[in-house]
């Protein structure tokens, strides 16, 4: 923060060192849309942990955990207990299959955008 004005690029009204806006409002709107639009709650069929999911294409899935994955997902908890750092966990195969099942059943749609 400089003189009471944020220099963070994700804060509307923030300014760079040279006084220019750090991010245009349309850029911030694009970021919000990309990160949050289309996410749907999905409870894992295996353990019940609820995540937010968006199927961007048949091969691309965005998942946002609403809880700490290492403590709410039994598969992740087991891997962390075995010494794997939580940041290095790729995916839970049970959750991936649960999402695939939701797509097959029509409970989760694949995006038709772009």
pLDDT tens digits, 49-108: 999 999 989 999 999 999 999 999 999 999 999 999 988 888 899 999 999 999 999 999
Average pLDDT for 6-26 = 64
Spatial contact of 98 and 46, defined as CB atoms under 8 Å apart: yes
Tokens for 5, please give them. Answer: 């004005």
Q: Give the residue extent of every domain in the chain.
A: 1-37, 38-105
pLDDT per residue as tens digits for the range 19-58 = 777 766 677 676 676 666 789 999 999 999 999 999 989 9
Spatial contact of 66 and 51, defined as CB atoms under 8 Å apart: yes
Q: Provide the pLDDT for residue 53.
A: 96
């Amino acid at each position: 923060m400089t003189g009471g004005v944020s220099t963070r690029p994700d804060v509307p009204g923030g300014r760079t060192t040279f006084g220019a806006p750090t991010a245009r409002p349309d850029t911030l709107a694009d970021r919000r849309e990309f990160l949050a639009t289309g996410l749907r709650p999905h409870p894992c069929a295996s353990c019940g942990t609820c995540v937010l999911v968006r199927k961007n294409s048949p091969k691309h899935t965005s998942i946002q955990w609403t809880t700490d994955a290492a403590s709410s997902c039994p598969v992740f908890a087991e891997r962390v207990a075995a010494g794997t750092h939580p940041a290095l966990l790729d995916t839970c195969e049970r959750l991936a299959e649960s999402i695939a099942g939701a797509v097959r059943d029509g409970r989760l749609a694949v995006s038709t955008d772009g």
